[in-house]
Chain A
Amino acid sequence: MSRATPTRAVAAWALIGLAGFVLLPWYAQQEGVLAFDWIGGLWSHADSASGLALIAAHNRWWLAPLLPVLLASLAVGFVGGTRRQRGTTLVWLAGIGLAIFWLQALSIGLRGWNAEWLTLTLGEVGGRQVGIGIGATLVLLSLLGLLSLGLAQRGAFGGDAFVAGAMVTVVASIVLFTAWPVLRILLQAFNSSDGTFAPALLLDRLSTAKIWSLRCLTGDGRCGVAWNTLFLALCCGAGTTMLGLAFALIVTRTGFRMKRTLRVLTVLPIITPPFVIGLGLILVFGRSGVVNQALDAWFGIAPTRWIYGFQGVFLAQLFAFTPVAFLVLIGVVEGVSPTLEEASQTLRADRWDTFRTVSLPLMKPGLANAFLVGFIESIADFGNPIVLGGDYGVLSTEIYFAVVGAQLDYGRAAALALLLLAFALGAFFLQRRLVGTRSYATISGKGDSGLPTPMPAGLRRLAQWIALPWAGFTALLYGFVLVGGFVKIWGRDHTPTLQHYAKAFAVESGPNGLIWTGAAWGSFWTTVKLAAIAAPLTALLGLLAAWLLVRQRFVGRSTLEFATMLSFAVPGTVIGVAYVFTFNVPPLEITGTALILVLCFVFRNMPVGVRAGMASMSQIDRSLDEASATLRGRAWQTLAHVVLPLMRPAMVAALVYGFVRAVTTVSAVVFLVTAEYELATTFIVLRVINGDYGLAIAYSCALILLMLAAILLIQLLVGQRRLGRRAAPAPIAARAGA
C-alpha cells in the first residue's frame, strides 16, 4: 500500500527545519521574538542571527553539521527507493541531527565550554551561547518530526506515522520536562555539599534513625519519617478509595435523589486552594475550635490538641483526595457492563454474589488506580502536613525544610526525594501485580442492553452510611470557610463585613473605563490565563500517553509508564528547584517566563490524565479498534472517532484536574513565580503567612467559584459518553432510592 503523504511530509518537515535555520534567529531574543526587532540583525548581529549566518559570519562552527543533515533529509523526500530504505536513512539523519543539536547546546553555554575538561582538551571555544530561540526550536521540531516519519516508514508502530509521531512527542516531552530536571536534582543525592561526587554519602544520608526509627512502637521515642509517610499514605490510599467507591456507587447505582448535590460536594475539596481545608479543620476541631469549645462548655471536657498530628493530616488528606479517587472510579463504575451482571443473575447468583464476583473484579483496575493515586497524592502532599502535622513529620515536609530550612542541604533533600520515589515505585509495581494482565474490557461494539443491577441492599446501606455523613461533614466545613470570608477576623471577631472582598476584588470606574484596583486582580488573571492554557495541553498529552500505553505494544512500555508518573511522585518543592536548576541556564533558558509555569503545570498534572485514561481505556474492547482498522480507519481516525468519544469521563477528569491543579498548586511554583507572573496560590499563601486569613479566604472562595464555572464549562464542552444502554425503568430506581 503506497501512500503519497510520507514523502511530502518528509519534505515539509525538512523545509520547516531549513526555514528555522535560515530565516529565523537561532537564539532567544531579549524582547521576545514577537517584537521583530531582530529582523535587521538576522545576518549581522550574533545575538539575533539565523543559524546559517552564525556559521558563515559569526564563526559558530559547531552549528555547521546541522545544515547538511537538514538538506539530506529534504533530498530523501524526493528520491526513490523503498519505504523501508527511506525510513532507515531518515532515522539515521534525524538521530545524528538530534545528537549534534544537544551535544553543542549542552556543552557550549554562557561562558564558552560548560565543563573545564573540555576547555583543557579542546582549547577555548570562540563564542558563547544563550538559550535557544525560535529558529533552533523549529530545527529541533523538524528533527523530531523527521525521526517519527522515519520510524513509521521503517515499519515501527504498524507503520503508522500518527502513532510514531505521538510516541516521539510523548517521549521527547517527558524526557525534556520531567526526566531531565528530576534526574538532575536527584543526582545531588550522590554529591557532597561542596559539589564533589561521593556516592557513599547516600547511604549515610538514608540510614539515619530519623528516617527509620521504629521507637514509637515500643513507646520510648518517635518513629522515623519514612514509616510515618508510608503509614499515612497506606491509610490515605485505602480511605480515599473506599470513600470514592462509596460515592461512585451511590451516584451511578442507586436512585439517590440528591446526586447532583453529592457530586458537587465531592468535587469541592479538589477545587479548594491549599491551606483552606487545614485551616477549616483547625477552626472546627482545633483547641479553640467549635467542637472543643462546645464540649468544654457543655460537658466540661478540657479542649485537647488531637487534631495536630497523624489524625489531623489523615482527615485533611481524606477530604482533599477522595474527590480524585471518585473521579477515577466513576468512569470505571459506569463502564462495568450491565449485561455481565444480568448474566450473573440469570445464572441465579444473588445481588451480593453478582457484585462480589462480577462487578467488583471488573472495577479492579479502577480501584487499583484510585489507590495508587491516593497513595502518591498522600506522599507528595505538602500543604496538609505543614498546617496540621505538628510533630508528625513526613518526607515531603522533611524535604521542603532540607531545601529551605536551617540546613540548606540539597543532598539530603535529594536523598529523601529518592526514598519518596522508591515508595511511589513500590506502589506502582504492587498495583501492576494486583491488576495483572487480565482483560477488563466490558465496553464492546455490541449494544449492551442490560440494566445496571441495583446494589445489594446491605452494600447500598453501607455506602450510604459511609458517604452521606462524610458529605454532610464536607458541607459543614465549607459553611465555616464561606462564613470566614465575610467576618472581620476569622475565629475571633465575627462582625459581618465585606472588607476582605473589597480589598481583593475592588473595581472602580475611571475616565477610561474600569480600573481593577483590588489587590488580587493581577494574580487572578495570570492564574486564569495560564491554567486555561495548561489544562488542554495536560489532557491532550496525558490521554495520548495513556492511549499509547494501553493500545500500543512497544519496547520500554513500562519504563514510559513509570516516567509519566515521575513528576507526580516527586514532591513539588523538588520539582520547583529542579526546574530552576535545569531551565535557568541555556539551552532552555525559560525561568522568569510564563512558559515555565505552564510547563510545570502540564508535566506535573499529566499523570492523572494518564491514570484516568488508562483506567477507562482498559475497559474498552480492542475489537472496537480492530473494527475501525478493518474499515481502513487509520490510527488517528480510530482514536478520534472510536476511542475518544468513549473516553469522555476520562477526558473531563483530565481537563478538570489539569485546570484545577494549575490553579491550586503551590509548592512546585514557589520558585518559579516572578513579580510579573504572580499566581493566586502564592498570593494566598503570603496572606496566610501574614495572618491575613480574611483576605486569603475571600480570594479562595472566588477561586472556588472560578473553578466551578470552569468545570461546568468543561463538562458542557466535552459532553457525556453515550453507551448503548437502556435507562432503568422507574420502579427499580424508586425501590433503590427508598
Chain B
Amino acid sequence: MRSWKAAILAIAPIALATPEAAQAQGSLNVYCSVQAEWCTLIANEFQKATGVKVSITQKGSGETIAQIKAEAANPKGDIWFGGTGDPHLAAAEENLTDVYKSPNLPQLHAWAQKQAADSGFRTTGIYAGALGFGINSELVAKKKITPPSCWADLLKPDFKGEIQMANPNSSGTAYVAIATLVQVMGEDKGFDYLKKMHVNVNAYTRSGTAPMKAVARGETTVSISFVHDGVTEALAGFPVKTATPCEGTGYEIGSISLIKGARNLENARKFYDWALTPAAQRLGAQAKQFQVPSNKETPVPPEAPKFADMKLIDYDFAKYGKASERKRLIGRWDTEIGALPK
C-alpha cells in the first residue's frame, strides 16, 4: 500500500480543484491597471453603490492585456479599468474587447469622446495625463543648470548623461514620447532630434515608470515621463518638479474596456457607466493620483497638472494607436537610435 502514497500525494490536489467561475448573480471581476489604493477604492465604492460583489485584480496595463489575450478562449475577467490607452486600443484592434456605447458618453471631454469614436467604441477614456519632464530639483540646483522647459533644452550640453527615457520596445510611455515628437516636429526632424538627444541620455530603461523613479532618487537629473507620476513622487517626499515642453506635448488617455465574452455582462456595463460619472472619477484624487478626469463635471484636483497651462497637441490616437504604425516607428527608432553606441 505504501508504494502508492507517493503517487497519490503528487496528483491528489487536482481533486481539490474548484474552478472558480463567478456566474452567481451580482458579481463582477475587474482587471484594474491603476494604482493599488485607487483600485481598492473603486471596488469598495461600486460595491456600496450597487450591491454587486466586486473582486479586483490589480496589474499593470501590459500585464493585463497579456492576461486577457492568454485567457481569450475562456475569459475570466469582465471589465478592464484604467491603464494607458495604447494597450486598450491594441486590445480593441485584436478583438479582445467588446463594443459598448455608454449613455454617459456625452458628458465627457472632447478628447475622450474622440478616442472612443476612433476605437469604434471599444474603449473609452476615463482620465488623461500629459507627457513632460520629471526634474530632480536638488541636482539641478547643485549643478547650477536651468531646468528644461522645452524639448529643445534637452539638447543642451548641460544635460550630457543626465536624461533618462524608456525604451519604446518595452514601454508605452516611450512610444507616446516618440509619437509626440513626430507629431510636433514631423517624422524626419523628430528622429533627428532623438539622435541628437542620444548623447545626453544615460539609459533607455525597460520600464516606463523607471525614469521618474530614478529622478526621485537622484539617479538621473531629468526624465521624459508622464507629469502626474512626478506629482505622486513629490507628495511622497522626493525633490521632484515637473514641466511640460513649450513646443507642445502629447498625452495618454487612461481607458476602460469591456472584455469580450464577459460572464457578468450586465454588471460590467453598470460598472462602465459608473466609471464615467463624477462620483467614480473623484476617487482618483482621493487615492493621490492626479490625472485629469474625463467627465467634464468631475472636479479637477488642485495638485493635478492643469491642461489649461500646457500646450497640448491634437494627438492622433487613430493613427498612432495602430499596431502597424507603432511597429514601423519603433523599428525606425531601433535602427536609428537604439543601435547607436553610447
Chain B associates with chain A: yes
With A282-B217, A598-B13, A636-B2: A144-B168 Cβ-Cβ less than 8 Å: no
Task: Kindly state whether residue A219 has any CB partner on chain B within 8 Å.
Answer: yes
Residue of A with least CB distance to B24: A30
B169 touches A390 (CB 8 A): no
A691 touches B59 (CB 8 A): no
Residue of B with least CB distance to A13: B4
B60 touches A390 (CB 8 A): no
With A31-B18, A32-B18, A676-B20: A686-B58 Cβ-Cβ less than 8 Å: yes
B56 touches A689 (CB 8 A): no
B58 touches A401 (CB 8 A): no
A173 touches B11 (CB 8 A): yes
From B3, B57, B66, B209, A404 is in contact (CB under 8 Å) with B66
Task: Kindly state whether residue A563 has any CB partner on chain B within 8 Å.
Answer: no
CA distance A687 to B58 in the complex (A): 12
A691 touches B19 (CB 8 A): no
Task: Kindly state whether residue A130 has any CB partner on chain B within 8 Å.
Answer: yes
Residue of B with least CB distance to A595: B17
Chain B hits for A221, CB < 8 A: 339-341
How many A-B residue contacts, CB cutoff 8 Å? 229
| Binary contact track A382-414/B, C-beta < 8 Å → 1, others 0 | 000010011101000100110111111010000
Task: Kindly state whether residue A17 has any CB partner on chain B within 8 Å.
Answer: no
For chain A, give the interface size range. 35 or more
B206 touches A675 (CB 8 A): no
Q: Which of A99-107, A134-142, A698-706 contacts B (4 or more CB under 8 A)?
A: A134-142
**CB interface residues, B 52-85, toward A, < 8 Å:** 55-60, 62-63, 65-67, 69-71, 73-74, 76
B13 touches A595 (CB 8 A): yes
Residue of A with least CB distance to B71: A584
Chain B hits for A130, CB < 8 A: 19
Task: Kindly state whether residue B7 has any CB partner on chain A within 8 Å.
Answer: yes
Task: Kindly state whether residue B216 has any CB partner on chain A within 8 Å.
Answer: yes
With A406-B326, A636-B2, A689-B209: A540-B9 Cβ-Cβ less than 8 Å: yes
Min C-beta distance of B221 to chain A, whole Å = 10
Give the total of B residues in contact with A, Cβ under 8 Å: 78
Chain A hits for B6, CB < 8 A: 165-166, 169, 540, 544
A577 touches B55 (CB 8 A): no
Task: Kindly state whether residue B117 has any CB partner on chain A within 8 Å.
Answer: no
A492 touches B238 (CB 8 A): yes
CA distance A533 to B13 in the complex (A): 10
Task: Kindly state whether residue A592 has any CB partner on chain B within 8 Å.
Answer: yes
Task: Kindly state whether residue B205 has any CB partner on chain A within 8 Å.
Answer: yes
Task: Kindly state whether residue A151 has any CB partner on chain B within 8 Å.
Answer: no
From B14, B59, B174, B233, A670 is in contact (CB under 8 Å) with B59
CA distance A537 to B12 in the complex (A): 11
Chain B hits for A621, CB < 8 A: none
With A288-B218, A393-B206: A593-B9 Cβ-Cβ less than 8 Å: no
From A29, A220, A406, B170 is in contact (CB under 8 Å) with A406
Task: Kindly state whether residue B16 has any CB partner on chain A within 8 Å.
Answer: yes
Chain B hits for A645, CB < 8 A: none
Chain B hits for A53, CB < 8 A: none
Task: Kindly state whether residue B10 has any CB partner on chain A within 8 Å.
Answer: yes
Min C-beta distance of B321 to chain A, whole Å = 11
B340 touches A404 (CB 8 A): no
CA distance A154 to B203 in the complex (A): 64
Chain B hits for A588, CB < 8 A: 14, 17
Task: Kindly state whether residue A286 has any CB partner on chain B within 8 Å.
Answer: yes
B219 touches A134 (CB 8 A): no
From A166, A222, A288, B219 is in contact (CB under 8 Å) with A288
Task: Kindly state whether residue B172 has any CB partner on chain A within 8 Å.
Answer: yes
A584 touches B14 (CB 8 A): no
Min C-beta distance of B119 to chain A, whole Å = 16
A537 touches B70 (CB 8 A): no
Task: Kindly state whether residue A213 has any CB partner on chain B within 8 Å.
Answer: yes
Task: Kindly state whether residue A131 has any CB partner on chain B within 8 Å.
Answer: yes
B57 touches A675 (CB 8 A): yes
Given A141-B8, A405-B170, output 6 extra A-B contacts at Cβ < 8 Å.
Answer: A110-B73, A137-B11, A401-B169, A588-B14, A591-B71, A674-B57
Instruction: State the A residues within 8 Å of B (CB).
Output: 9, 28-34, 110, 130-134, 137-138, 140-141, 144-145, 148, 161-162, 165-166, 168-169, 172-173, 209-210, 213, 215-216, 219-222, 282, 286-288, 305, 308, 386, 389-391, 393, 397, 400-401, 403-408, 410, 488-489, 491-493, 533, 537, 540-541, 544, 577, 580-581, 584-585, 588-593, 595, 598-599, 636, 670-671, 673-676, 686-687, 689-692
Q: Provide 15 A-B residue pairs closer than 8 Å at the C-beta atoms, listed in order of the A residue.
A: A31-B18, A33-B15, A34-B18, A140-B11, A145-B4, A221-B340, A308-B203, A401-B62, A405-B171, A406-B172, A580-B71, A585-B73, A593-B17, A673-B57, A691-B233
